[in-house]
Amino acid sequence: MNQKKRKSHYHADMLSVEDAREKILSKFKTLNPIQINILESVGSVISENIISEINVPPLDNSAMDGYAVIKNDLLKADDENIIYLDVIEEIPAGTIPKLSLSPGQASRIMTGAPIPSGSDAVVPFEDTNELENNDKNKIGIKISVKNLENIRKKSEDIKKGSVIIKKGSLITSATVGVMASIGREKVSVIRKPIIGILSTGNELLEPGEKNQDGKIYNSNTYTLSSLVTEFGATPLIQKHALDKVEDLEKKLAKLKDVDLIVTSAGVSKGDYDIVKDVLDKNGDINLWSVNMRPAKPLAFGIITIDGKKIPLLGVPGNPVSAMIAFEKFGRYAIDKMKGKPLRNRPIIKANLESDIINHDGRRLYSRVKVIVDSSSKIIAVPIKNQSSGVLTSMHEANGLAICPSDIDILKKGEKIDVEMFNWNENISDILNNEE
Ligand code: AMP
Ligand code: MG
């Protein structure tokens, strides 16, 4: 290892990322359950056991388009010895067979249609002479079949009376389908948190507004709100506030019904950072220095709006810092409110393509793009400009390389830890190649 241990720069006044997260999470609890349509439930945690009132499939049915037969009729059937059966019925999907089979008989059957009584196998069309044969009342069979061949058994998917989805599980797209398959329309889930989003700054314009000298477009509202959606909560966006106490208070007042307010900017040391004053006046908010780069300054606490106490997370204004602060703190709060297990990102080992320098002894999250080269080596390529104002670096990166606070430099060629935040199409290669 080329890593050099650092002894200086110990930041006793800073909170570790983990301690800051723990303090934040202690102010959140799982939200209440609500009944919703299954179509709205993906990504939520289910708050009931789902017990099926039906069997799925409800009856033995055909897995192929073909002919329902009696296997013993076909013991000697093959290409050279076609065996002819009398066709007594046609059974489309969604109907019930009227006739039962006796030896020497077959019913033409479609995929999903119930098997007629007496039948114990289905022969697919391609193993019959249906195409060559003009007599609709007869069918020539070219194969022998095993017991239950091409038959899907009643209740092989779901047994009536069984618990098929356990309380506390995460609802995936497949879970929604399973609920639909037993005819469930509504389900009880932990409700989605509503996250109020409020950017602050006199310099901000909204996308769609005409560009002006000296102004910049507000991107934080848009990244934060997209992150909120990505993590399965509902963003409630307030138009950005000016650096004026009254404007900020007026806009905060509109967020009185949310589960968490995320503000951006005004938490570092600047003359116009009136956010701090407003938070001080209206709540119990603390300004922290977190031992990380980017996103050292952070505000967190409880703000009182109209007598309601609401957690508030103030992330820094710099666009990369705002995203990384949300990634490290905000998303965990959402998961906790949703009743989900708190999960860190998967960490992979990658070969570093060029040095990463840690010059002030904080835990460094360096934006990298992880790629797999032609010899299947996993390489972390640091994005050139690591300024916390350069938002395109987040667009280019798919992971954050972690440099511990007590290490000065991660050297080119070293194996380093990368937290993957974007699974791109390379990731299956990456995981397959991991040591
Ligand atoms: P501040 O935290 O107010 O000192 O802002 C730090 C930097 O982030 C400044 O360059 C701001 O212009 C920029 N910034 C603040 N808010 C936003 C925002 N909503 N979107 C994009 N950049 C912002
Ligand atoms: Mg500002």
Share of the chain above pLDDT 70, in %: 94
Which ligand has the minimum distance to the alpha carbon of residue 322?
A: 1
366 CA → ligand 1 middle, Å: 20
Assess whether pLDDT exceeds 90 at residue 10. Answer: no
In this prediction, residue 272 has a pLDDT band, given cuts at 50, 70 and 90, of: low
> What per-residue confidence (pLDDT) applies to 275?
80
What is the H or E stretch that residue 394 is in? helix 392-396
Q: Which pLDDT belongs to residue 432?
A: 55
Q: What angle do CA 311, 317, 323 make, to 5 degrees?
A: 70
Substitution candidate for ligand 1 out of 216, 243, 275 with most atoms within 8 A of CB: 216
Fold matches, 61-152 and 347-434: no
Mean of pLDDT values over 15-34:
98
State the pLDDT at residue 384.
97
For domain 4-31+192-338, which CATH number applies: 1.10.101.10, 3.40.980.10, 2.160.20.10, 3.40.640.10? 3.40.980.10
Ligand 1: list residues with CB < 6 Å.
199, 201, 203-204, 216, 218-221, 264-266, 268, 270, 316-319, 389
In this predicted structure, which of 115-119, 168-172, 187-191, 340-344 has the lowest mean pLDDT? 340-344
CB 144 within 8 A of CB 71: yes
- For the chain, give every domain's residue range: 4-31+192-338, 35-55+165-190, 61-152, 347-434
Region 146-157 average pLDDT: 98
Mean pLDDT of the chain: 93
Which ligand 1 atom is the nearest neighbour of the CA of 273? 3
Confidence of residue 2 (pLDDT cuts 50, 70, 90): very low
Identify residues whose C-beta is under 5 A from ligand 2, the ion. Answer: 201, 265
Rg (CA), the chain: 31
pLDDT tens-digit profile of 131-147? 998 899 999 999 999 99
Which residues lie across from 163 on neighbouring strands? 51
Is residue 8's pLDDT more than 60?
no
Taken as a whole, the chain contains a residue count of 435
In this predicted structure, what is the pLDDT of residue 361? 94
Kindly indicate the confidence band of residue 183, based on its pLDDT and cuts at 50, 70 and 90: very high
| Strand duo 151-152 + 33-37: pairing | unpaired
User: Residue 185: in which H helix or E strand, if any?
Assistant: none
pLDDT tens digits along 283-296: 899 889 999 999 99
pLDDT digits 0-9 by tens, 53-69: 999 999 999 999 999 99
Q: Does domain 35-55+165-190 have CATH number 3.20.20.100?
A: no
> What mean pLDDT is predicted for residues 303-326?
96
* pLDDT at position 234: 98
- Count other Cβ atoms within 10 Å, centred on residue 52: 22
**Taking Cα atoms as reference points, which of 290, 261, 292, 291 lies closest to residue 278?**
261
Write the pLDDT tens digit of every residue in 64-85: 999 999 999 999 999 999 999 9
CATH number for the 347-434 domain, one of 3.90.920.10, 3.40.190.10, 3.40.47.10, 2.40.340.10? 2.40.340.10
The pTM of the full predicted model, rounded to 2 decimals, is: 0.91
State the average pLDDT over residues 238-245: 94
The 3-state DSSP class for residue 144 equals coil
Q: Is 353 left (phi over 0), alpha (psi -120 to 50) or beta?
A: alpha
Q: 11 versus 202: which is more confidently predicted?
A: 202
Which residue among 264, 267, 269 has the greatest number of ligand 1 atoms within 8 angstroms of its CB, and so is best to mutate? 264
Quick one: pLDDT band at residue 435, thresholds 50, 70, 90? very low
The per-residue pLDDT for 127 is: 98
pLDDT of 297 strictly over 90: yes
DSSP 6: -
Q: What was the pLDDT predicted at 159?
A: 98
Q: Which residue has the tokens 């509504």?
A: 186
CATH architecture for residues 61-152: Beta Complex (2.170)
In this prediction, residues 32-47 reach a mean pLDDT of 98
Count of helices and strands (H, E) across the chain: 9, 27
Mean pLDDT in residue range 410-420: 97
- pLDDT(104) > 70: yes
